[in-house]
Structure 1
Amino acid sequence: MENTVVRMVDARVEQYGEGTVMERKVDGSWQPVSWKDLSKAYREVARGLACLGFKRGDRIAILSENRPEWAFADLGILAMGGIDIPFYWTLTPAQLEYILLDCTAGAIFVSNLEYLDKILKIRPGLPELKMIICFDPVPEDRLAHDVITLDDLLARGCEAMPEIWESLGRSIAEGGAHDPATIIYTSGTTGEPKGVMLTHDNFLSNVRQVLEVIKIGDTDTCLSFLPLSHVFERLAYYLFLYTGCKIVYAESIDQLIPNMGEVKPTILVSVPRVYEKAYGRILDRVRESSLIKRLIFVTSLSVGQEVSRRLQAGKELSGWLRFQQKFADRLVFFKLRQTFGGRIRLMISGGAPLSKRIAEFFHAAGLIILEGYGLTETSPVISANDLERLRFGSVGHPLPGVEVRIADDGEIQVRGPNVMKGYFNRPSDTAEAIDGDGWFSTGDLGHIDNDGYLVITGRKKSIIVTAGGKNIAPSLVENALCADKFISQAFVYGDRRKYISALIAPDWERVENYAKEHRIEFSSRRELCDNSRIRELLQGRIDSAQVDLSPVEQIKRFKIMEREFSQDKGEVTPTLKLRRKQITSRFWKDLESLYDD
Structure 2
Amino acid sequence: MAVSEADQLLIVQNRARNVGELFFGRVEASGPREAFRYPDADENWHSLTWNQAGEQVTKLAAGLVALGIEPEERVAIASGTRIEWILSDLAINAAGAATTTVYPSTVTTDVVYILSDSESRVVFAEDDAQIAKLRDGRSELPQVMKVVAFEGETDGDWVISLEELIAEGEKYLADHPGVVQERVAATGPESLATLIYTSGTTGRPKGVRLVHDCWTYEGAAVAAPGLLTIDDLEYRWLPMAHSFGKVLLTTQLAVGFPCAVDGRVPKIVENLAVVRPTFMGAAPRIFEKAYGRIVGMMEEEGGAKLKLFHWAERVGLQKSRLERAGKPVPLPLKAQHAVADKLVFSKVRDRFGGRVRFFISGAAALSTDIAEWFHAAGILVLEGYGLTETSAGAVVGHPDDFRIGTVGRPFPGTEVKIATDGEILIKGPGVMRGYHNLESESASALVDDGWLATGDIGEFDADGYLRITDRKKDLFKTSGGKYVAPSHIEGAFKAVCPLASQMVVHGNDRKFCSALITLDPDAVDAWAANHGMEGKSYQEIVSSPGIQQQIAQDVEELNAKLNPWETIKKWAVLDHDLSIESGEITPSMKVKRRVVEDRYSDVLDGFYAGA
Q: Say yes or no: does 1:12 pair with 2:43.
A: no
Task: Quote how far apart the aligned CAs of 1:521 are.
Answer: 11
| Structure 1 letter corresponding to 2:457 | L
Q: Say yes or no: does 1:504 pair with 2:517.
A: yes
1:386-535 → structure 2 map (5 Å cutoff): 386-483=398-495, 484-511=497-524, 514=527, 517-518=530-531, 531-535=544-548
**Alpha-carbon displacement from aligned partner over 1:428-485 (angstroms, at most 9, x marks no partner):** 1111111132111000011111221111111111221111111112222222223422
Task: Quote how far apart the aligned CAs of 1:161 are.
Answer: 5.6
* Distance in 2 separating the partners of 1:515 and 1:172: 57
| Structure 2 letter corresponding to 1:341 | G
Moved more, 431-440 or 522-531: 522-531
User: Could you say which residue in structure 1 is the equivalent of 2:570?
Assistant: 557
Q: Say yes or no: does 1:35 pair with 2:14.
A: no
Report if aligned partners of 2:543, 2:575 keep a CA contact under 8 Å in 1. Answer: no
* Distance in 2 separating the partners of 1:214 and 1:187: 34
Q: In structure 2, do the counterparts of structure 1 residues 68 and 596 end up closer, same or farther at CA, with 3 Å as the change threshold?
A: same
Report if aligned partners of 2:239, 2:587 keep a CA contact under 8 Å in 1. Answer: no
User: Could you say which residue in structure 2 is the equivalent of 1:365?
Assistant: 377
Q: In structure 2, do the counterparts of structure 1 residues 527 and 222 end up closer, same or farther at CA, with 3 Å as the change threshold?
A: closer
Secondary structure of the residue that 1:496 maps to in structure 2? coil
Task: Quote how far apart the aligned CAs of 1:526 are.
Answer: 5.6
Report if aligned partners of 1:51, 1:164 keep a CA contact under 8 Å in 2. Answer: no
Task: Quote how far apart the aligned CAs of 1:407 are.
Answer: 0.8
Report if aligned partners of 1:373, 1:381 keep a CA contact under 8 Å in 2. Answer: yes
* Distance in 2 separating the partners of 1:158 and 1:472: 60
| Structure 2 letter corresponding to 1:264 | R
Task: Quote how far apart the aligned CAs of 1:94 are.
Answer: 1.9
Task: Quote how far apart the aligned CAs of 1:100 are.
Answer: 1.2
Q: In structure 2, do the counterparts of structure 1 residues 542 and 190 end up closer, same or farther at CA, with 3 Å as the change threshold?
A: farther
Secondary structure of the residue that 1:160 maps to in structure 2? helix
The counterpart of 1:170, out of the listed 170, 178, 182, is 182
The counterpart of 1:105, out of the listed 120, 124, 127, is 120
Moved more, 348-357 or 89-98: 89-98
Q: In structure 2, do the counterparts of structure 1 residues 318 and 527 end up closer, same or farther at CA, with 3 Å as the change threshold?
A: closer
* Distance in 2 separating the partners of 1:450 and 1:161: 58
Q: In structure 2, do the counterparts of structure 1 residues 511 and 315 end up closer, same or farther at CA, with 3 Å as the change threshold?
A: same
Report if aligned partners of 2:279, 2:358 keep a CA contact under 8 Å in 1. Answer: yes
The counterpart of 1:193, out of the listed 168, 193, 205, is 205
Moved more, 116-125 or 31-40: 116-125
1:269-280 → structure 2 map (5 Å cutoff): 269-280=281-292
* Distance in 2 separating the partners of 1:263 and 1:529: 35
**Alpha-carbon displacement from aligned partner over 1:25-71 (angstroms, at most 9, x marks no partner):** 12332111111111111111111111111111210100122222112
Moved more, 509-518 or 406-415: 509-518
Task: Quote how far apart the aligned CAs of 1:543 are.
Answer: 2.0
1:32-431 → structure 2 map (5 Å cutoff): 32-136=47-151, 138=153, 142-160=154-172, 164-188=176-200, 191-213=203-225, 215-250=227-262, 252-289=264-301, 291-431=303-443
* Distance in 1 separating the partners of 2:517 and 2:199: 23
* Distance in 2 separating the partners of 1:509 and 1:218: 36
Report if aligned partners of 2:296, 2:498 keep a CA contact under 8 Å in 1. Answer: no
Moved more, 245-254 or 373-382: 245-254
Report if aligned partners of 1:478, 1:490 keep a CA contact under 8 Å in 2. Answer: yes
Report if aligned partners of 2:295, 2:498 keep a CA contact under 8 Å in 1. Answer: no
Number of residue pairs matched by the alignment: 594
User: Could you say which residue in structure 1 is the equivalent of 2:583?
Assistant: 570
Task: Quote how far apart the aligned CAs of 1:527 are.
Answer: 5.6
The counterpart of 1:583, out of the listed 575, 596, 604, is 596
Task: Quote how far apart the aligned CAs of 1:315 are.
Answer: 1.4
Task: Quote how far apart the aligned CAs of 1:410 are.
Answer: 0.9
Report if aligned partners of 1:499, 1:556 keep a CA contact under 8 Å in 2. Answer: yes
Report if aligned partners of 1:190, 1:580 keep a CA contact under 8 Å in 2. Answer: no
Q: In structure 2, do the counterparts of structure 1 residues 595 and 101 end up closer, same or farther at CA, with 3 Å as the change threshold?
A: same
Report if aligned partners of 1:222, 1:245 keep a CA contact under 8 Å in 2. Answer: yes
| Structure 1 letter corresponding to 2:329 | L
Report if aligned partners of 2:62, 2:173 keep a CA contact under 8 Å in 1. Answer: no
Report if aligned partners of 1:79, 1:168 keep a CA contact under 8 Å in 2. Answer: yes
**Structure 1: runs of 5+ lacking an equivalent:** none
Task: Quote how far apart the aligned CAs of 1:192 are.
Answer: 2.1
Task: Quote how far apart the aligned CAs of 1:189 are.
Answer: 6.7
Task: Quote how far apart the aligned CAs of 1:191 are.
Answer: 3.1
| Structure 2 letter corresponding to 1:75 | L
Q: Say yes or no: does 1:548 pair with 2:591.
A: no
Task: Quote how far apart the aligned CAs of 1:506 are.
Answer: 2.3
Task: Quote how far apart the aligned CAs of 1:298 are.
Answer: 2.2
Secondary structure of the residue that 2:568 maps to in structure 1? coil
Q: In structure 2, do the counterparts of structure 1 residues 577 and 257 end up closer, same or farther at CA, with 3 Å as the change threshold?
A: closer
**Alpha-carbon displacement from aligned partner over 1:297-327 (angstroms, at most 9, x marks no partner):** 2222222111110111111223333222222
Q: In structure 2, do the counterparts of structure 1 residues 285 and 522 end up closer, same or farther at CA, with 3 Å as the change threshold?
A: closer
Q: Say yes or no: does 1:25 pair with 2:34.
A: no
TM-score by length of 1: 0.94
* Distance in 2 separating the partners of 1:16 and 1:530: 56
What root-mean-square deviation, in Å, do the aligned CA atoms of Structure 1 and Structure 2 show? 2.2
* Distance in 2 separating the partners of 1:355 and 1:274: 12
Secondary structure of the residue that 2:166 maps to in structure 1? helix
Task: Quote how far apart the aligned CAs of 1:145 are.
Answer: 1.6
Task: Quote how far apart the aligned CAs of 1:566 are.
Answer: 3.9
| Structure 1 letter corresponding to 2:440 | S
Q: In structure 2, do the counterparts of structure 1 residues 367 and 190 end up closer, same or farther at CA, with 3 Å as the change threshold?
A: farther
* Distance in 2 separating the partners of 1:244 and 1:451: 32
Task: Quote how far apart the aligned CAs of 1:4 are.
Answer: 1.1
Task: Quote how far apart the aligned CAs of 1:143 are.
Answer: 1.0
* Distance in 1 separating the partners of 2:399 and 2:173: 52
Query: How many percent identity over aligned positions?
Result: 36
